[in-house]
Chain A
Amino acid sequence: MTEGLSPGAILGVAAAGGALLALDAAPLAQTLVSQPLPAAVLTGLVLRCGAAAAPIGIALQALWTSLLPLGGSLIPDSGPATVGAVAAAALLLADPTTAPWAVPVGMAVAFAGGVAGAHTVMWGRRANHGLVRAAEAQVVQGDVAAVERAHVAALGLAAARGAAVALVLAVAGWGLGLALSRATGETAASLAAAATAWILPAGVGVMVAAAVLRARRAAWWAVAGVVIGAGVAWRG
């Protein structure tokens, strides 16, 4: 699945993707490209491992959609975490002995990495505090461009943080997959995949509950949606 791509190239893509998606998450534009589904599918396309990337992105997206970026709240660092997880999956797919671990390890790495990455976002915001304070002192002296320089430096910091998170997760996931494939047999990978498959229904259940909780009168719309969706799937 990842023919022609060396581990170095995969890690390079992880670093570049992590940097770009860390910017989209909050510092720049917020177009949702950094959400798990687009991040996983697009990274999978680049790394030629779409079949493994899609289930990771779909499960993560279903579960994380209900977490809202309100005020200064910390939500999972989904972009870099997803890129790191898909890169780990791509690295594991390159070897037939580790390939069965690609999806379950990718999911585990993405969840753990999303939570850990959120704390690095907090560090970044604390670093911004120093940049803004220093810029303010220069603005008072008459150098108004100082606040623009601080702003650009903060963007660079966010990109570097995203690249580092994605790289660390890709390498950690690769190592975890190698260790698990050495310690266990093929049955273990199938069991892990089956056990992590419940994340998608859990996410869908949470999404419906969140939508109905937000607007209780919309419950009938949710029921109508379920009936139409079931009908379409049944016929198809």
Chain B
Amino acid sequence: MAEPRLPLWSVSVRALALQASFTYERFQGAGFAVAMLPVLRRVWPDRRDLAEATRRHMDYFNTNPVMCTYVLGAAARLEAEVAAGRTPVEIARGFKASVGGPVAALGDRFLWGTVRPAATALGLAVALRWPLAGVLVMLAGYNVPHLWLRVRGMRQGAALGPSSIRDITGTRFGRLSQRAADVCAAACGLLAGLAATQAVRPAGTVHVTGAIWLIFAVLSGLLFARRRLSPTQLGLVGCALGLLVALLGGPRGV
């Protein structure tokens, strides 16, 4: 019997909402089942088999929400093989349970740890002078690799099955990740250089606020690096300090 053509486009679109029904018990489990439903409906014509397969995919699952397309594509292919009787269901279940963690580690490091901060630093550097252009730079800088990975993951997963994971565990992706970390550091440095020089040199002369700017930047970086204060704590302290200074230093009539 000819294998049914898998509705991968529907799975890709549904994968965008993988985390909609996120819970602390199953994490992305329900979202994974919803994304897989177009494939499950295609390969399991029997109502009882379909219900059993859907429930099976609702179990605990957690990975990087962008790289999840690698797992979804491979799981879709495996599900078709399980339905055709060529692969035991335990293989499909074991694959899903074993790849979530490693794919999450690679995806989080690459996307959250390097691509996102690099795009943000470049966007902020532009936004210091042109806010709207900065937003466009930031969104393009992140979403081009983001969407490319989603599409590539689904294609590779469906074409190669479980071995598609080698696409991101191989040395090529490791090198790409290292390059992205270098670009991220350079982009953050660029932002620091631009912002600091603008503060240090208002109207062409060194200004006292510039020195204070640099002291705050270095001090905050050190406090963060030594885990004394989180970025949110730094922001809250800053705002509380601002309001306190205002209330103490500028009562009505001053």
Contacts and interface: CB of A to CB of B under 8 A. Distances in A.
Interface string B207-224: 000001110111111101
Given A185-B254, A221-B182, A69 B58 contact: no
A111 B241 CA distance: 13
A199 B235 CA distance: 6
A28 to B, nearest CB: 5
Nearest to B142: A32
B185 A229 contact: no
Contact of A41 (B19, B134, B143, B224): B134
A44 B134 CA distance: 14
Interface string A129-171: 1011001100111111001101110110010000000000000
Contacts of B193: 225-233
B216 A201 contact: yes
A89 B47 CA distance: 55
A135 B247 contact: no
A151 B20 contact: yes
B239 A27 contact: no
Interface stretch (A2-10, A11-19, A57-65): A57-65
Nearest to B26: A132
Interface stretch (B1-9, B81-89, B124-132, B168-176): B124-132
Contact of A183 (B16, B127, B245, B252): B252
Contacts of A66: 117, 224, 231
A202 B185 CA distance: 17
Contacts of A205: 192, 216-222, 224
B163 interface: no
Contact of B241 (A142, A193, A195, A219): A195
A96 interface: no
Interface string B33-60: 1100100110000011011001100100
A188 B138 CA distance: 35
A30 B115 CA distance: 13
A67 interface: yes
**Chain A binding surface SS class:** helix
A199 to B, nearest CB: 5
Interface string A23-53: 0001111111101011001101100001001
Interface in A79-137: 104, 107-108, 111-112, 114-115, 125-126, 128-129, 131-132, 135-136
A182 B243 CA distance: 14
Given A58-B124, A209-B222, 15 more contacts: A28-B16, A32-B120, A41-B127, A45-B132, A59-B235, A64-B235, A104-B243, A111-B239, A115-B232, A132-B25, A155-B17, A187-B249, A193-B242, A206-B224, A208-B189
Interface of B: 16-17, 19-27, 29-31, 33-34, 37, 40-41, 47-48, 50-51, 54-55, 58, 62, 65-66, 104, 108, 112-114, 116-117, 119-121, 123-125, 127-128, 131-132, 134-135, 138-139, 142-143, 146, 178, 181-199, 201, 212-214, 216-222, 224-225, 230-232, 234-236, 238-243, 245-247, 249-254
23 contacts: A26-B65, A29-B17, A53-B131, A72-B24, A111-B238, A111-B239, A129-B24, A132-B58, A139-B51, A144-B54, A185-B253, A187-B249, A191-B246, A198-B238, A205-B217, A210-B188, A211-B189, A225-B189, A229-B191, A229-B192, A232-B193, A233-B194, A233-B197
